[in-house]
Amino acid sequence: MTKKEIMKKKMVDYLMKTSQHLFVDRKGNFHKVLLTKVNDEWICTKISFGDSKPKVNFYSLEVRDENNDLDILKERLFSSRGWDADKKRSIRNFKVMKELMFDVTNIIRKEYDGTRDSMKTIEDEVSKIVGDIKCKA
């Protein structure tokens, strides 16, 4: 395997593990990472929801720097803004969340084509699904 292939595998492995958890920040907002394959290409999606309108961000798994891409991806997903190490927590997915994220994943697979229009459509559909979920903790 080349260095790029090794880095891509590390990124996919990290995202597979991360996608098993639901993260809660210090403000009580949820953050969910999904890894989905669309047309033989891995698509990483981060959904943030809770107090405000849900946000959907897409991240490329293109390897540019064989040494730092995983760290860069982690920083993009969980930048230090709003994340205090002692205030952030991860919880295992609960049944309702798994069912909702299954629906979201299906929307991503159906709608995503890399264009801004498809991303906007996905964000609108995700807002309908997770828009009313609030953290009680």
For the stretch 10-62, pLDDT in tens is 999 999 999 988 888 877 788 899 999 888 889 999 998 887 788 899 988 88
Do 43 and 119 form a contact (C-beta atoms < 8 A)? no
Q: Could you tell me if residue 98 is inside a domain?
A: yes
pLDDT of 1: 83
Q: How much is the pTM? A: 0.81
Residue 40: in which H helix or E strand, if any? none
Q: Could you tell me if residue 135 is inside a domain?
A: no
| 125 has a pLDDT exceeding 60 | yes
When the pLDDT of each residue in the chain is averaged and rounded to a whole number, the result is 83
104: nearest Cα among 62, 60, 56? 56
Q: Could you tell me if residue 88 is inside a domain?
A: yes
Q: Could you tell me if residue 26 is inside a domain?
A: yes
* Percent of the chain with pLDDT strictly greater than 90: 33
Total number of domains in the chain: 1
Domain region containing 42: 3-130
- Chain CA centroid to CA 124, Å: 16
Q: Could you tell me if residue 137 is inside a domain?
A: no
Do 82 and 27 form a contact (C-beta atoms < 8 A)? yes
Q: Could you tell me if residue 83 is inside a domain?
A: yes
pLDDT of 117: 95
97: nearest Cα among 35, 25, 26, 23? 23
